[in-house]
Amino acid sequence: MSFWQRWVEATSSREDATSLALFRIGMGLGVLYTVGTVVLRGLVPVLWIDRDFGGMRDLGEGPWLVAMLGGPSPDVVWPLVIGSLIGGVLLTLGLGGRLMALVTLLVTTNVVDLNGHAGGSYDELLSNGLWLCVLAGGEATLSVSAWLEHRRWWPSVEVVAFPRWLAGWQLVLMYGATGLQKVSAYWVPGGESSALYYILQQPSWHRTDMSWIAYVFPLTQLATTITWIWEVTAPLWLLAVWWAAQPKPVGRLAAWSNQIKLRWIFMGIGLSMHLVIFVTMDVGPFSFLSVAFYTVMVHPHEWRALPSLLAGSTLRSPLPEPRG
């Protein structure tokens, strides 16, 4: 088979839309989290409006859409903020399809890019996720659109699979690149492994006083080492997900990965890491957006089977009482 034939086959394969639908919901909620928290805290006039109108700094003309509409004034910014929130709601509900995902992407990125001092790398993660929603067609199920077309919330509808794999690649690329940038002695094995300890001592990051972790410093060293190794090897996670999708193992490494459930090990470490980050640190919507990407690391048929598995564990008939 030629490279072109393999490429066409890979990009044309179809699968149930459930994983991409959950990803779409996660990105919609991510928009509401990212923009909504700024609104609720009353910071829109401070962060996203130019100093000439009472903001904290000179924002210039702003991103292209803001500039085209007249610059970062209240009359321009507030409609975009409201439009972003409406787009987040409609994306979560699954109304408007790819066009709504595109509009939400354009409006939201123009808002969050207004002030480079008031954002983070999670803004790029959100914009990349929204681009994937434009490609994905995740509104085909678990959506109002699905209900209107099929009179069912969760119909079995197939969509092209490659956007899910792109979202998975985005996730492991983020983790892998992050790990490769942590090359100081504070991170890499064999060094002090004190990075997490020092991070948790910085008032700009932690939610509350964390001086008590000095008493468990070796545990922070262990967590630092595990985090670094996990991030550097994160691309293996996507491989493990792909291997699990094959009818038969494609080699010894694939068979070993499937046997030890490597993909679930990666996911368990990642979820634990983000839970600790969320509890101890204030990093904005980073953890929420990252975990939203985890939805694509579960195959659609596994999401389909989840209700039955939960029902089986909770509705199992009780054991008969022993008779004397």
pLDDT digit string (tens) for 45-97? 999 999 999 999 999 999 999 999 999 999 999 999 999 999 999 999 999 99
The answer to whether 33 and 79 are in contact (CB under 8 A) is no
Report which of residues 322 and 25 the model is more confident about.
25
Tell whether the model's pLDDT for residue 323 goes beyond 80. no
**Burial group, residue 237, by CB count within 10 angstroms (0-12, 13-18, 19+):** buried
pLDDT digit string (tens) for 258-312? 999 999 999 999 999 999 999 999 999 999 999 999 999 999 999 999 988 888 7
Are both 45 and 144 inside the same structural domain?
Answer: yes
Are both 29 and 146 inside the same structural domain?
Answer: yes
Are both 209 and 141 inside the same structural domain?
Answer: no
In the three-class reduction of DSSP (H, G, I as helix; E, B as strand; rest coil), residue 283 is classed as coil
Structure confidence at residue 1 (pLDDT): 63
Are both 26 and 155 inside the same structural domain?
Answer: yes
pLDDT digit string (tens) for 141-179? 999 999 999 999 999 999 999 999 999 999 999 999 999
Are both 208 and 291 inside the same structural domain?
Answer: yes
131 assigned to some structural domain: yes
In the three-class reduction of DSSP (H, G, I as helix; E, B as strand; rest coil), residue 15 is classed as strand
pLDDT digit string (tens) for 174-209? 999 999 999 899 999 999 999 999 999 999 888 999
90 assigned to some structural domain: yes
Tell whether the model's pLDDT for residue 316 goes beyond 70. no
Of 127, 160, 193, the last residue of a domain is: 160
Structure confidence at residue 5 (pLDDT): 83
Are both 152 and 27 inside the same structural domain?
Answer: yes
User: In the Cβ-directed half-sphere of 187, how many Cα atoms lie within 13 Å?
Assistant: 14
| Residues 248, 231: Cα–Cα separation, whole Å | 28
**Boundaries of domain holding 231:** 180-299
169 assigned to some structural domain: no
322 assigned to some structural domain: no
**Burial group, residue 280, by CB count within 10 angstroms (0-12, 13-18, 19+):** middle
Are both 133 and 204 inside the same structural domain?
Answer: no
The answer to whether 134 and 98 are in contact (CB under 8 A) is yes
**Residues in contact with 192: Cβ distance below 8 Å, sequence separation at least 6, in sequence order:** 185, 186, 221
Q: Are strands 14-16 and 158-160 parallel, antiparallel or unpaired?
A: antiparallel
Could you tell me the end-to-end alpha-carbon distance of the chain, in angstroms, rounded to an integer?
A: 69
Structure tokens at 132: 């994937």
Are both 135 and 49 inside the same structural domain?
Answer: yes
Of 125, 160, 195, the last residue of a domain is: 160
pLDDT digit string (tens) for 212-233? 999 999 999 999 999 999 999 9
Total domains in the fold of the chain: 2
Are both 97 and 234 inside the same structural domain?
Answer: no
Split at pLDDT 50, 70, 90, the class of 314 is low
19 assigned to some structural domain: yes
Are both 142 and 196 inside the same structural domain?
Answer: no
Are both 226 and 283 inside the same structural domain?
Answer: yes
9 assigned to some structural domain: no
Are both 152 and 278 inside the same structural domain?
Answer: no
173 assigned to some structural domain: no
57 assigned to some structural domain: yes
Structure confidence at residue 313 (pLDDT): 61
